[in-house]
Chain A
Protein backbone atom coordinates (compact mmCIF):
# COMPACT_ATOMS: atom_id res chain seq x y z
CA UNK A 1 0.00 0.00 0.00
CA UNK A 2 1.37 3.39 -0.99
CA UNK A 3 2.25 5.76 1.81
CA UNK A 4 2.20 8.86 -0.32
CA UNK A 5 -0.52 11.45 0.22
CA UNK A 6 -4.08 11.04 -0.92
CA UNK A 7 -4.11 7.26 -1.11
CA UNK A 8 -5.27 6.41 2.39
CA UNK A 9 -7.13 3.37 1.13
CA UNK A 10 -8.43 0.98 3.77
CA UNK A 11 -6.79 -2.42 3.86
CA UNK A 12 -8.78 -5.18 2.15
CA UNK A 13 -10.86 -7.08 4.70
CA UNK A 14 -10.28 -10.33 2.82
CA UNK A 15 -6.50 -10.30 3.17
CA UNK A 16 -4.29 -12.06 5.72
CA UNK A 17 -6.24 -13.24 8.78
CA UNK A 18 -9.33 -11.72 7.16
CA UNK A 19 -9.42 -14.74 4.86
CA UNK A 20 -10.16 -16.95 7.86
CA UNK A 21 -13.03 -14.64 8.84
CA UNK A 22 -14.43 -14.75 5.29
CA UNK A 23 -14.19 -18.57 5.35
CA UNK A 24 -16.12 -18.76 8.65
CA UNK A 25 -18.78 -16.38 7.35
CA UNK A 26 -19.08 -18.39 4.13
CA UNK A 27 -19.65 -21.61 6.10
CA UNK A 28 -22.35 -19.91 8.17
CA UNK A 29 -23.93 -18.41 5.04
CA UNK A 30 -24.09 -21.87 3.50
CA UNK A 31 -25.36 -23.75 6.55
CA UNK A 32 -27.89 -21.13 7.70
CA UNK A 33 -29.35 -20.67 4.21
CA UNK A 34 -29.49 -24.39 3.45
CA UNK A 35 -31.18 -25.05 6.79
CA UNK A 36 -33.76 -22.29 6.20
CA UNK A 37 -34.58 -23.49 2.69
CA UNK A 38 -35.09 -27.04 3.96
CA UNK A 39 -37.39 -25.73 6.70
CA UNK A 40 -39.38 -23.49 4.36
CA UNK A 41 -39.76 -26.05 1.58
CA UNK A 42 -40.45 -28.97 3.92
CA UNK A 43 -42.63 -27.71 6.77
CA UNK A 44 -43.26 -23.99 6.52
CA UNK A 45 -46.65 -24.06 8.27
CA UNK A 46 -45.17 -25.53 11.48
CA UNK A 47 -43.32 -22.37 12.50
CA UNK A 48 -43.39 -19.70 9.80
CA UNK A 49 -41.80 -16.97 11.96
CA UNK A 50 -38.85 -19.14 12.97
CA UNK A 51 -38.24 -20.29 9.43
CA UNK A 52 -38.42 -16.81 7.93
CA UNK A 53 -36.02 -15.69 10.65
CA UNK A 54 -33.72 -18.56 9.67
CA UNK A 55 -33.81 -17.35 6.09
CA UNK A 56 -33.15 -13.75 7.17
CA UNK A 57 -30.12 -14.93 9.15
CA UNK A 58 -28.88 -16.86 6.13
CA UNK A 59 -29.23 -13.81 3.87
CA UNK A 60 -27.43 -11.61 6.43
CA UNK A 61 -24.51 -14.07 6.51
CA UNK A 62 -24.41 -14.13 2.69
CA UNK A 63 -24.30 -10.31 2.54
CA UNK A 64 -21.63 -10.19 5.26
CA UNK A 65 -19.54 -12.74 3.34
CA UNK A 66 -19.82 -10.73 0.11
CA UNK A 67 -19.03 -7.50 1.95
CA UNK A 68 -15.98 -8.90 3.73
CA UNK A 69 -14.68 -10.73 0.66
CA UNK A 70 -14.96 -7.71 -1.65
CA UNK A 71 -12.48 -4.89 -1.97
CA UNK A 72 -14.57 -1.91 -3.02
CA UNK A 73 -15.78 0.83 -0.63
CA UNK A 74 -19.34 -0.39 -1.26
CA UNK A 75 -18.33 -3.83 0.01
CA UNK A 76 -17.04 -2.33 3.23
CA UNK A 77 -20.31 -0.46 3.79
CA UNK A 78 -22.26 -3.64 3.07
CA UNK A 79 -20.08 -5.54 5.56
CA UNK A 80 -20.64 -2.91 8.28
CA UNK A 81 -24.39 -3.04 7.76
CA UNK A 82 -24.63 -6.84 7.57
CA UNK A 83 -22.36 -7.53 10.55
CA UNK A 84 -24.10 -4.82 12.60
CA UNK A 85 -27.47 -6.35 11.75
CA UNK A 86 -26.09 -9.77 12.64
CA UNK A 87 -25.01 -8.52 16.08
CA UNK A 88 -28.44 -6.99 16.72
CA UNK A 89 -30.11 -10.17 15.46
CA UNK A 90 -28.19 -12.57 17.66
CA UNK A 91 -28.62 -10.35 20.73
CA UNK A 92 -32.36 -9.77 20.23
CA UNK A 93 -33.27 -13.31 19.20
CA UNK A 94 -30.92 -14.76 21.84
CA UNK A 95 -32.47 -12.67 24.62
CA UNK A 96 -36.04 -13.39 23.53
CA UNK A 97 -35.40 -17.14 23.46
CA UNK A 98 -33.68 -17.11 26.86
CA UNK A 99 -36.47 -15.16 28.62
CA UNK A 100 -38.96 -17.22 26.58
CA UNK A 101 -41.10 -14.28 25.52
CA UNK A 102 -44.24 -15.67 23.94
CA UNK A 103 -43.79 -18.42 21.39
CA UNK A 104 -40.49 -17.22 20.17
CA UNK A 105 -38.81 -19.72 17.83
CA UNK A 106 -36.12 -22.01 19.22
CA UNK A 107 -35.13 -23.12 15.80
CA UNK A 108 -32.85 -20.53 14.25
CA UNK A 109 -29.09 -19.96 14.12
CA UNK A 110 -29.48 -17.12 16.62
CA UNK A 111 -31.72 -18.88 19.17
CA UNK A 112 -30.15 -19.03 22.65
CA UNK A 113 -27.28 -16.86 21.36
CA UNK A 114 -26.29 -19.55 18.87
CA UNK A 115 -25.98 -22.35 21.40
CA UNK A 116 -26.65 -24.96 18.71
CA UNK A 117 -23.60 -23.68 16.82
CA UNK A 118 -21.13 -23.56 19.68
CA UNK A 119 -21.97 -19.87 20.37
CA UNK A 120 -19.96 -18.95 17.28
CA UNK A 121 -22.92 -16.80 16.02
CA UNK A 122 -22.52 -14.69 19.17
CA UNK A 123 -18.75 -14.24 18.88
CA UNK A 124 -18.59 -13.80 15.11
CA UNK A 125 -20.18 -10.32 14.79
CA UNK A 126 -17.85 -8.91 17.48
CA UNK A 127 -14.85 -10.28 15.60
CA UNK A 128 -16.31 -8.96 12.33
CA UNK A 129 -16.83 -5.42 13.67
CA UNK A 130 -13.39 -5.42 15.27
CA UNK A 131 -11.81 -6.51 11.98
CA UNK A 132 -13.70 -3.90 9.95
CA UNK A 133 -12.51 -1.22 12.38
CA UNK A 134 -8.98 -2.50 12.37
CA UNK A 135 -8.67 -2.56 8.59
CA UNK A 136 -10.18 0.91 8.20
CA UNK A 137 -6.77 2.52 7.76
CA UNK A 138 -3.81 1.38 5.69
CA UNK A 139 -1.17 -0.63 7.47
CA UNK A 140 1.31 1.77 9.10
Chain B
Protein backbone atom coordinates (compact mmCIF):
# COMPACT_ATOMS: atom_id res chain seq x y z
CA UNK B 1 0.00 0.00 0.00
CA UNK B 2 2.48 2.64 1.14
CA UNK B 3 4.78 2.70 -1.84
CA UNK B 4 4.63 4.91 -4.90
CA UNK B 5 1.14 6.20 -4.06
CA UNK B 6 2.34 7.61 -0.74
CA UNK B 7 5.13 9.52 -2.50
CA UNK B 8 2.58 10.84 -5.00
CA UNK B 9 0.42 11.98 -2.07
CA UNK B 10 3.28 13.97 -0.52
CA UNK B 11 4.26 15.54 -3.84
CA UNK B 12 0.68 16.56 -4.64
CA UNK B 13 0.16 17.84 -1.06
CA UNK B 14 3.29 19.98 -1.36
CA UNK B 15 2.25 21.25 -4.80
CA UNK B 16 -1.25 22.18 -3.55
CA UNK B 17 0.23 23.91 -0.48
CA UNK B 18 2.78 25.91 -2.49
CA UNK B 19 0.18 26.89 -5.11
CA UNK B 20 -2.22 28.05 -2.38
CA UNK B 21 0.44 30.20 -0.71
CA UNK B 22 1.56 31.64 -4.06
CA UNK B 23 -1.98 32.76 -4.94
CA UNK B 24 -2.26 34.40 -1.52
CA UNK B 25 0.98 36.28 -2.16
CA UNK B 26 -0.27 37.28 -5.62
CA UNK B 27 -3.52 38.54 -4.07
CA UNK B 28 -5.80 36.15 -5.96
CA UNK B 29 -8.84 34.38 -4.50
CA UNK B 30 -9.26 30.62 -4.98
CA UNK B 31 -10.42 29.75 -8.49
CA UNK B 32 -11.01 26.74 -10.75
CA UNK B 33 -7.34 25.73 -10.64
CA UNK B 34 -7.55 25.37 -6.86
CA UNK B 35 -10.63 23.17 -7.19
CA UNK B 36 -8.90 20.96 -9.77
CA UNK B 37 -5.73 20.72 -7.67
CA UNK B 38 -7.67 19.82 -4.53
CA UNK B 39 -9.74 17.35 -6.58
CA UNK B 40 -6.59 15.62 -7.86
CA UNK B 41 -5.14 15.46 -4.33
CA UNK B 42 -8.41 14.10 -2.96
CA UNK B 43 -8.49 11.42 -5.69
CA UNK B 44 -5.03 10.19 -4.62
CA UNK B 45 -6.15 10.15 -0.97
CA UNK B 46 -9.35 8.26 -1.70
CA UNK B 47 -7.51 5.62 -3.76
CA UNK B 48 -4.97 5.26 -0.96
CA UNK B 49 -7.70 4.99 1.68
CA UNK B 50 -9.64 2.37 -0.31
CA UNK B 51 -6.51 0.24 -0.84
CA UNK B 52 -5.59 0.49 2.85
CA UNK B 53 -9.13 -0.23 4.07
CA UNK B 54 -9.41 -3.28 1.80
CA UNK B 55 -6.15 -4.64 3.21
CA UNK B 56 -7.09 -3.93 6.84
CA UNK B 57 -10.54 -5.47 6.54
CA UNK B 58 -9.08 -8.25 4.39
CA UNK B 59 -6.87 -9.62 7.13
CA UNK B 60 -3.81 -7.40 7.63
CA UNK B 61 -3.61 -6.75 11.37
CA UNK B 62 -2.01 -3.61 12.74
CA UNK B 63 -1.09 -3.00 16.38
CA UNK B 64 -3.19 0.17 16.42
CA UNK B 65 -5.97 -0.66 14.03
CA UNK B 66 -8.54 1.82 15.37
CA UNK B 67 -6.06 4.69 15.29
CA UNK B 68 -5.12 3.77 11.75
CA UNK B 69 -8.73 3.75 10.57
CA UNK B 70 -9.44 7.10 12.26
CA UNK B 71 -6.44 8.70 10.57
CA UNK B 72 -7.53 7.13 7.29
CA UNK B 73 -10.94 8.77 7.65
CA UNK B 74 -9.36 12.09 8.62
CA UNK B 75 -7.02 11.94 5.60
CA UNK B 76 -9.96 12.00 3.15
CA UNK B 77 -12.20 14.44 5.07
CA UNK B 78 -9.93 17.45 5.53
CA UNK B 79 -9.48 18.68 1.94
CA UNK B 80 -13.20 18.93 0.98
CA UNK B 81 -13.87 20.90 4.18
CA UNK B 82 -10.82 23.11 3.62
CA UNK B 83 -11.88 23.84 0.03
CA UNK B 84 -15.41 24.69 1.13
CA UNK B 85 -14.13 27.00 3.88
CA UNK B 86 -11.57 28.59 1.54
CA UNK B 87 -14.08 29.41 -1.20
CA UNK B 88 -16.93 30.52 1.12
CA UNK B 89 -15.23 33.90 1.47
CA UNK B 90 -13.39 34.56 -1.79
CA UNK B 91 -10.37 36.55 -0.64
CA UNK B 92 -6.65 36.05 -1.17
CA UNK B 93 -6.51 34.06 2.09
CA UNK B 94 -8.44 31.15 0.60
CA UNK B 95 -5.24 29.81 -0.95
CA UNK B 96 -3.50 29.69 2.42
CA UNK B 97 -6.51 27.93 3.99
CA UNK B 98 -6.15 25.25 1.30
CA UNK B 99 -2.40 25.10 2.01
CA UNK B 100 -3.06 24.55 5.73
CA UNK B 101 -5.44 21.71 4.88
CA UNK B 102 -2.90 20.15 2.50
CA UNK B 103 -0.10 20.31 5.09
CA UNK B 104 -2.37 18.84 7.78
CA UNK B 105 -3.40 16.05 5.43
CA UNK B 106 0.25 15.40 4.54
CA UNK B 107 1.02 14.97 8.25
CA UNK B 108 -1.94 12.58 8.59
CA UNK B 109 -0.53 10.49 5.71
CA UNK B 110 2.85 10.48 7.46
CA UNK B 111 1.20 9.23 10.69
CA UNK B 112 -0.59 6.55 8.64
CA UNK B 113 2.75 5.47 7.27
CA UNK B 114 4.17 5.13 10.81
CA UNK B 115 1.17 3.08 11.98
CA UNK B 116 1.37 0.89 8.90
CA UNK B 117 5.08 0.02 9.03
CA UNK B 118 4.73 -0.73 12.76
CA UNK B 119 2.40 -3.58 11.85
CA UNK B 120 3.86 -5.06 8.66
Contact = CB atoms under 8 A, between A and B. Distances in A.
B31 interface: no
B53 interface: no
Given A27-B78, A42-B64, A19 B97 contact: yes
A41 B101 contact: no
B119 to A, nearest CB: 14
Nearest to B99: A20
Contacts, number: 49
Interface residues of A, number: 17
A34 interface: yes
A3 B49 CA distance: 51
Interface in A99-119: none
A30 B74 contact: yes
B66 A38 contact: yes
Contact of B101 (A16, A27, A42): A27
* B-side interface mostly: helix
Q: Which of A16, A17, A23, A38 has the most CB of B within 10 A?
A: A23
Most buried by B among A17, A27, A31: A27
A78 interface: no
A56 interface: no
Interface of B: 64, 66-67, 70-71, 74, 78, 81-82, 85-86, 89, 91, 93-94, 96-97, 100-101, 104, 107-108
A34 B74 contact: yes
A24 B97 CA distance: 8
B101 A38 contact: no
5 contacts: A19-B86, A20-B93, A23-B100, A34-B70, A42-B66
A24 B78 CA distance: 12
Nearest to B65: A42
A42 B71 CA distance: 15
Nearest to B98: A23
Contacts of A15: 89, 91
